[in-house]
Amino acid sequence: MKKSLIALAVLAASGAAMAQSSVTLFGIVDAGYAVGKGSLSNKTQLRNSGYNSSRLGFRGVEDLGGGMKASFWLEAGVNNDDGSGAGTSNNNQSLPAWNSADGKNSAINARNQGLTFNRRSTVSLEGSMGELRLGRDYTPQFWSETAYDPFGTNGVGTTIAAFSGGNVGVRASNSIGWLSPSISGFKIWAQTYMGENASTAAQNGDGNGIRFTYDQGALSLAYATSTVNTSASTAASTSNKTSNFAGSYDLGVAKLMAQSNLTKNTGASDTKGSVIGALVPMAGGTFRISMSDRKTGAVEAKQTALGFVMPLSKRTDLYTTYARLANSGGSAVALNGSTTAANASSTGYEFGVKHAF
């Protein structure tokens, strides 16, 4: 009888503990047929992540009581077109190639690292004062770039004005972030990240970012800015500073989006970018439309993109996108792996399927 009571007590305690914590397996597999055409060469390929980035992840949360929660998030990029994993960077720097002295290849080869948790690798504590997040994470300025792009910075239609944060244009390793609670629609995301350099070396890869947002009903606004040190020596100080302002408004019949980006690199001309676009629910799916521009001095590229997403279920979508890019001032940007001469144009299109689980 006593053994039975003890067993029941253990099971009850175990059930209570499990009820206050959870772990979720999640992911996306996205592949598409993609074609790029330029004045010098064309390219046809099977690509991944044309609509959403392919990934495999694990996340969990534990209720600590008193309004406190602990959580983790481990998310790996997957190149499902060839089965390889997406690479990562350990210190936010442009790294040298093979170093025979220590027998390490510091250069990042995105398809030669196996499966890495490159997309996100964080642990968090969350309470009434917000969330403290530690590890590899998105950077604040990139989150605005992708959130206000009708193509979500994926596929041939993605904005050409994004990814302007240097070596932390999308994510930063060794980051410490604080995300505030929402107060009347206002939120703050502050982040600092480290290149993990010796005190006698250049502080390459160190940086900070901050993002302010306002969301109320159909209106969404965001301003973000970041600065990362790019100096490779103690004798000179160089940096990349990028800022953007973005907004969207949901009319019901269409969601309008716009953003403006500015990047300042020490010793170089400023780069200015802009995006305007819309998501339009119609014909059982959603049309995606955008016009984006990037200009550094007289060098300029302009892109127009049109896409359509057709849901087959809550987890599976078909998508197609067409984009055309025009170069001027010596620009030679091309789409979908093609190459084009300076001041010539390029076009690209893709058809794909995305499944989420």
Count of residues in the chain: 357
**What does the pLDDT look like over 57-107, one tens digit per residue?**
999 999 999 999 999 999 999 999 999 988 888 889 864 443 333 333 344
Distances (CA, A) of 186 to 39, 166, 226, 255, 256: 48, 28, 19, 21, 20
pLDDT confidence bin for 216, thresholds 50/70/90: very high
Q: Which two tokens stand for residue 114?
A: 């196996």
What is the pLDDT at residue 89? 83
What b-and-e string marks burial along 199-211, b requiring 16 or more CB atoms within 10 Å of the CB? Answer: eeebbbbbbbbbb
**What does the pLDDT look like over 152-178, one tens digit per residue?**
999 999 999 887 878 899 999 999 999
Q: What is the DSSP string of 173-232?
A: EEEEEEEPPPBTTEEEEEEEE-----TTS--TT-EEEEEEEEEETTEEEEEEEEEEE--S
CA distance 164 to 146: 12
Residue 15 has pLDDT above 60, yes or no: no
Domains of the chain and any CATH numbers: 34-91+117-356 (2.40.160.10)
**What does the pLDDT look like over 174-215, one tens digit per residue?**
999 999 999 999 999 999 999 999 999 999 999 999 999 999
CA distance 159 to 63: 39
Say what the pTM is: 0.88
Average pLDDT, the chain: 90
Residue 108 has pLDDT above 90, yes or no: no
Q: Is 268 helix (H, G, I), strand (E, B) or coil?
A: coil
Mean predicted confidence (pLDDT) in 336-344: 98
Top-confidence residue, 231 or 179: 179
Q: How far is CA 29 from the centre of its chain?
A: 16
Residue 141 has pLDDT above 60, yes or no: yes
CA distance 134 to 146: 22
Return the percentage of the chain with pLDDT > 90, whole number: 81
CA distance 89 to 232: 16
CA distance 130 to 271: 34
